[in-house]
């Protein structure tokens, strides 16, 4: 998990040293400037919980949190994350205790194939941080950057709505 896979040096372009905090762990990495955060996570660090669905910022499967805000990892160059905190689906639970939104997704059957799920959950956590989820329509609208081809949308809505208070409390505890 820790070692980066060396790749041949392209002519004249050196890998850049990048230091970031990934799921609470400080990581020092040498990263080619063209490597996206998504490819860094999946191919170099074998953290495959973050999914590649389109690689064009159109599906949301690769949503992660950078400094608490949701971003499409496929549209983010890894070098842009120097000095930042990156949280992926692997970093949401506290030990064995799932994040309230993770637990609510299980309880409400808010997924089927599971491929969009990490992105949906990270997006929901980001939305909670944004403090803009005030109604069901808000949630629907603000979760519309995450496509679920299995069509679990009504259950995703229920799960998020149900977990909102606990998720807010969870975020508060994290800050203390």
Partner 1 sequence: MNSTSPIGQPLPRVDGRLKVTGQAKYAAEFEIPGLLHGSVVNSTIARGRVRRIDTTAAEAVAGVVLVLTHENRPPVASYDEPYQDDDAADGSPFRPLYNDRVLYSGQPLALVVAESLELARYAGSLVRIEYDVEPHQTDLAAVREQAHPAPEEVPSRGDFEAAYRGAPLQIDHEYGTPIEHHNPMEPHASTVHYQPGDELIIHDKTQGVQNCMRYVEGVFGLEGKVQVHSPFVGGAFGSGLRPQYQLPLAVMAALKLKRSVRVVLKRQQMFTFGYRPRTLQRLAIGFSPNGRLEALHHGSLGQTSRFEDFTEHEVEWSGALYACDNVQLEYRLGSLDVYTPIDMRAPGAAIGVYALEAAMDEVAYAAAIDPLQLRLRNYTEINGNQGKPYSSKELCACYEQGAERFGWSRRPLEARSMRDGHELIGWGMATGVWEAMQMPASAKACLAADGRLIVSSATADIGTGTYTVMTQIAASALGLPMDRVEFRLGDSRFAQAPLEGGSATVSSVGSAVHQACVGLREKILDAAQQSPASPFTGASLDDVAFEDGELVLKREPARRVPLTQLIQTSGTLEAEASVKPGDEREKYATGTHSAIFVEVRVDEALGTVRVTRVVSAVAAGKVINPKTAASQILGGVVWGIGMALHEETWTDHRLGRYMNHNLAEYHVPVNADIHDIDVFFVEEQDSVVNDLGSKGVGEIGIVGVAAAVANAIYHATGKRVRDLPITPDKLL
Among 58, 82, 83, 174, binds partner 1 (CB under 8 A): 58
Query: What's the closest the beta carbon of residue 2 comes to partner 1, in angstroms?
Result: 13
Asked if residue 50 binds partner 1 (CB under 8 A), the reply is: yes
Q: Which of 115, 110, 89 lies closest to 154 in space, CA to CA?
A: 110
Asked if residue 70 binds partner 1 (CB under 8 A), the reply is: no
Q: Which span (14-22, 65-73, 152-160, 165-173) binds partner 1, by CB under 8 A?
A: 152-160
Asked if residue 143 binds partner 1 (CB under 8 A), the reply is: yes
Asked if residue 161 binds partner 1 (CB under 8 A), the reply is: no
Let me know: does 114 contact 136? Beta carbons within 8 Å.
Answer: no
- Closer residue to partner 1, CB minimum distance, 83 or 141: 141
Q: Which residues bind partner 1 (CB under 8 A)?
A: 5, 7-11, 32, 34-35, 39, 42-43, 46-56, 58-59, 61, 88-90, 92-93, 98, 102-103, 105-107, 109, 111-118, 121, 137, 139-141, 143-157
């Amino acid at each position: 998990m820790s070692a980066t896979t060396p790749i041949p040096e392209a002519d004249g372009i050196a890998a850049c040293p990048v230091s970031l905090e990934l799921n609470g762990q400080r990581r020092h990495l040498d990263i080619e400037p063209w490597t996206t955060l998504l490819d860094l996570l999946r191919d170099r660090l074998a953290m495959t919980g973050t999914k590649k669905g389109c690689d064009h910022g159109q599906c949301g499967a690769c949503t992660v949190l950078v400094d608490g805000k949701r971003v499409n990892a496929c549209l983010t160059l890894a070098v842009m994350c120097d000095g930042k905190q990156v949280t992926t689906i692997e970093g949401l639970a506290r030990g064995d205790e799932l994040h309230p939104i993770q637990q609510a997704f299980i309880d409400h059957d808010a997924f089927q194939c599971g491929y969009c799920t990490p992105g949906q959950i990270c997006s929901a956590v980001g939305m909670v941080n944004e403090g803009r989820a005030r109604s069901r329509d808000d949630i629907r609208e603000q979760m519309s950057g995450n496509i679920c081809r299995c069509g679990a949308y009504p259950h995703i809505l229920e799960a998020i709505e149900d977990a909102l208070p606990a998720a807010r409390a969870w975020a508060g505890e994290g800050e203390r």
